[in-house]
Amino acid sequence: MIEDLFAEAAGKADEVEVCIGEGQEIRADMRRGEITIGSASRFSGIMIRTVNDGRIGISSSDSPKRWKECLYAAIAGGNLADKQNWEGLPKDAGTLRSNTRLAFDPDLNVSSDCLKNLISGMITGSKEHDAAITSAHASLSSGTVTLANSGGLFLTEPTTHVSTSIEMIQGQSTGYEHDASWELRRIDPIAVGKTASWYASAGERGVELDTGTYDIVLSPDALSQLLDAVLVPALSGRNVHAGRSALADRIGDQICGEKIQLYDDPLDPRGSANGYWDGEGVPVRRIDLIRDGILQQFAYDLRTAYRYGKETTASAVRTGMAGSPGIGFHNLILNGPAGSVYKEDAVFIRDVVGAHTANPMSGDFSVELSSPFFIRDGELSQPIRSAMLSGNVFSLLNQVLCVSKETRTRGNMILPTVLIADQTLIGKA
Amino acid sequence: MSLPYRYYDVRRVTGEVTQIDIDNGVIEAAGTSFTDLALIRVLGPVGWGVLSVNGDRIPGDTLPLSLLKEALLAAKITNGAISIIEGKCRVLSVPKPKEDPRDTDLGEKTEILLEMERHAKLPDIVNTRVNYVERTGTVTFFNSSDNRFTYDICRCGFGILAVASRNGVTQIGYERRHTIDGLNIRHQQDLALQAGTIARDLLEAQPAKGGIAHAVLDPELAGVFAHEAVGHAAEGDLVQEGSSVFAGRIGERVGSPVISITDDPTLHNFGFCPVDDEGRETKRTGIIRSGVLSAYLHSMESMAALGEDTGILGHARGMAGEVPIVRMSNTFIENGDADYDEIIRECRNGILLKGSRGGQVDPGRGVFQFNAEYGYLIQDGECTTMVRDVSLSGDILGTLHQVMLCGNDQKLHAGFCGKNGQTAAVSDGAPHILLKDAVIGGSSLD
């Protein structure tokens, strides 16, 4: 089919790229501790990109059989797009490839027995503390992603994915935990259930907090939400050149504490969607975005790099099985001065509500806290009923006191727990 | 051989999505994509089995036996007994668009959007961006109770962003309009100008002060309040699983007597549903009536679990190929009898919050948060200084009792709502409302 596509496109477009994803998923959804929905899906998708005289067109469908419609829609769209400097799709995939799979687990069987094990593990863990399951899910999937272009590039990779989540409640205290990976052994469903039940149970009878300035401890969940809303878009080369990034003129500046490192490492096995190439078939490498607190570089895909005379950082990512390529990160990793983050009297924040409402330009945000606790004797102690955190994401990174050694993978980020000085909390006392 | 199912339904969605992206005057993308997905749900001896496949596997309006068997196989893992109440199937007619977007070619739409974008380019504006999206779709539904229907619907709209920057301060203005009424991009230059003007004005605005204060919410933000703080907590599936502070409170006073909140899928606004995605008739649903919780929003399953007297069926919606879940449609606070001047006067000292950058809720804890685009301080009964980056949070039950006045100037705004990884077209609205002792988020303190 791919050969037919390239033959059809010959003479109609200078270059053609096709990404095809196909696979299967099974899933179980629980309500109040019982499985109420069992699901199966066979999914597929095709995305075609054409380049003609520097004009880029794209089209997609969930049925690869409709490749011809997509091809002509991409060409038609490209005819309307403005011309830009274009120096070609990659012709080969470089030499990075090894036999080590970075996103495929041969031990992950998409079977109902495996699904039942995940569910029963979460149930077992959930009984650790006094709370009730409101909802939970587990899913397993496997598939293949193929990327090819008319210049001769042809890449095909198998993928696997496992995902679990559980929500629990005790009184009016809720607890949530989730975990996902490409590798089955990295998921501990009992721990997932235990954690959710602990937060639901321990969060009861929270006290009000006085408005004021506090040292705070952000969990990887809370931190990932704030970084995703503000820092991630600010590091995109496209936003930088379009005037939509507060960091645009800051390369070489100290933008956060001098021991803060932020980098993208697509080959880190802790990541959930690793690979040897980016979404355009460019061999990946580690990119240092912030080194010792100094802003080093921005992320580029081919389109943005060609337009602004930069080099791609192999930062093209695709959403879903065969989405259109855009600038993003593979495994964004934050590191900092290691230390004991559970400082006396600091406020621990498990998660935040409303991070997407942050101002992506200025970095200012105000969010409601989920599962906040006062820290006493190095542990989460007194729960706080509710409070808001108001601040600025860029300033937060300037006030990091230390980070934990342990990390969690949250979406496309691998993050520690972070202790941050002097933040504004608004209480209802 | 008879198969062990109690019910099944099939929903196939075929359609096209056209998108145009113009960034700083450059046409980045203009094109069309194609979708054809089908979802088969079968209620087995215990629970649901769901199968998602490409739509071309459903020939006409019969369910191939092999797919029914596959869905039943998926149901085997269930151990939670499910019942449903089917209710009535009725499909409202979809209003004819004033100007069918499909009659205007992509090139002309692009020219109109380019012209619109130019009007946002004021001094200090460093970036403008216009996005247009048009979704046309045909929904085909049939079930084991011999209900079957097909309808077409088109939703389209645009957003315009303006970024202002001066002396290291960067701010944004954003306006959007989405509709089921047809092509809506013509003659929108004033809206583009407004996005640019707000971004520029925000450069001079003061950071908001956090703390407890009286707050006046404009119709857009008060609509988000109705949606986030009340609508989600009234969703029958969340009530059923025990994730809502409204569980077990039908008939109880949950708010001030001045407040009534409604969800109405039959209104010809962006959240219009001619029929729900379980094939059930849609109806206006009074969630809160004069402060009393009156109805949950139900699917067939949540109504069976919670009882027919707890709400109204016809609120299940699902994206193409996804399981229908309980969703809102057009959600709004009903008009009261206060006028705008009276509300500002009555507030006396506080803050007027305008526009919305979105919100979120934890309905189990009963805690919500949402962010205004900007605001004005109210001092001695008058609006004074502009403030930026101001948000509001609270607990649902407490905040509903703090609504002091409802205005008489209700407006609805179109938007999108996310739940369980699915996005639904909705509209929210309200008149101006006055909240006593609201929790305001801002980066500075007194």
Domain-embedded: residue B1: no
pLDDT for res B391: 87
Same domain, B365 and B263: yes
Question: Nearest by CB to A77, which of B30, B37, B245?
Answer: B30
Q: What is the mean pLDDT of residues A206-223?
A: 96
Same domain, B133 and B43: yes
Q: What is the mean pLDDT of residues B263-286?
A: 98
Contact A426 B441 (CB under 8 A): yes
Question: Nearest by CB to B126, which of A56, A173, A243?
Answer: A243
* CB < 8 Å to B76, chain A: 38, 112
Nearest CA in chain A to B244: A172
- pLDDT tens for B306-358 read 999 999 999 999 999 999 999 999 999 999 999 999 999 999 999 999 999 88
From the CA of A96, how many Å to the nearest CA of chain B?
32
Judged against a pLDDT cut of 80, whether residue A2 lies above it is answered with yes
Greatest distance between any 2 Cα atoms in chain A? 72
Same domain, A158 and A211: no
pLDDT for res A302: 97
Query: What are the backbone dihedrals phi and psi of residue B375, each rounded to the nearest 5 degrees, phi first?
Result: -155, 175
pLDDT for res A319: 80
pLDDT for res B444: 64
Same domain, A191 and A321: no
* CB < 8 Å to A32, chain B: 80, 240-242
Domain count, chain B: 2
Measured CA to CA, the distance from residue B38 to residue B139 in angstroms comes to: 10
Cβ contacts of residue B328 below 8 Å, gap of 6+? B227, B231, B232, B235, B263, B271, B297, B315, B417, B424, B426
- Chain B interface disruption, residue of A364, A394, A428, most B CBs within 10 A: A364
Contact B29 A58 (CB under 8 A): yes
Same domain, A119 and A260: no
The helix (run of H) or strand (run of E) holding residue B300 is: helix B300-306
Q: What is the mean pLDDT of residues B50-62?
A: 91
Cβ contacts of residue B296 below 8 Å, gap of 6+? B234, B235, B236, B239, B246, B250, B287, B302, B306, B310, B311, B312
When pLDDT is cut at 50, 70 and 90, the band that residue B443 belongs to is low
What's A72's domain CATH number?
A: 3.30.2290.10
Question: Nearest by CB to A366, which of B47, B129, B442?
Answer: B442
Same domain, A420 and A303: yes
Judged against a pLDDT cut of 90, whether residue A200 lies above it is answered with yes
* Of B145, B175, B204, the domain-final residue: B204
Contact B31 A39 (CB under 8 A): no
- pLDDT tens for A399-412 read 999 999 999 999 99
What's B76's domain CATH number?
A: 3.30.2290.10
* Of B151, B181, B204, the domain-final residue: B204
When pLDDT is cut at 50, 70 and 90, the band that residue A324 belongs to is confident
Domain count, chain A: 2
Domain-embedded: residue B338: yes
Q: Which residue has the higher pLDDT, B2 or B20?
A: B20
pLDDT for res A211: 92
Domain of residue B291, residue span: 207-441
Same domain, B135 and B264: no
Question: Nearest by CB to A35, which of B26, B28, B77?
Answer: B77
Measured CA to CA, the distance from residue A240 to residue A220 in angstroms comes to: 26
Same domain, B211 and B200: no
Nearest CA in chain B to A136: B241
Tokens for A146, please give them.
């193929």
From the CA of B337, how many Å to the nearest CA of chain A?
30
Domain-embedded: residue B2: no
Mean pLDDT estimate for chain B: 94
pLDDT for res B74: 97
Same domain, A246 and A164: no
* CB < 8 Å to A384, chain B: none
* DSSP 8-class letter at A277: B
Same domain, B256 and B377: yes
CA-CA-CA-CA dihedral for A406, B421, A265, A26, to nearest 10 = 90
Residue B341's alpha-carbon distances to A13, A71, B220, B260, B338, in angstroms, are: 61, 58, 18, 21, 8
Measured CA to CA, the distance from residue A340 to residue B398 in angstroms comes to: 38
Q: What is the mean pLDDT of residues B53-73?
A: 93
CA atoms within 13 A on the CB side of B126: 21
Domain of residue A425, residue span: 206-429
Q: What is the mean pLDDT of residues A180-203?
A: 96
CA-CA-CA-CA dihedral for B429, B434, B438, B440, to nearest 10 = 70
Cβ contacts of residue A346 below 8 Å, gap of 6+? A214, A215, A216, A217, A374, A375, A419
Query: Token pair 């290291």 is at which residue?
Result: B168
Same domain, A186 and A324: no
Judged against a pLDDT cut of 80, whether residue B29 lies above it is answered with yes
Contact B34 A167 (CB under 8 A): no
Contact B78 A135 (CB under 8 A): no
The helix (run of H) or strand (run of E) holding residue A369 is: strand A364-376
Domain-embedded: residue B446: no
* Of B144, B171, B204, the domain-final residue: B204
From the CA of B110, how many Å to the nearest CA of chain A?
8
Question: Nearest by CB to A39, which of B50, B210, B445?
Answer: B50
When pLDDT is cut at 50, 70 and 90, the band that residue A97 belongs to is low
Same domain, A70 and A179: yes
* CB < 8 Å to A243, chain B: 24, 126-127, 163, 165
From the CA of B101, how many Å to the nearest CA of chain A?
17
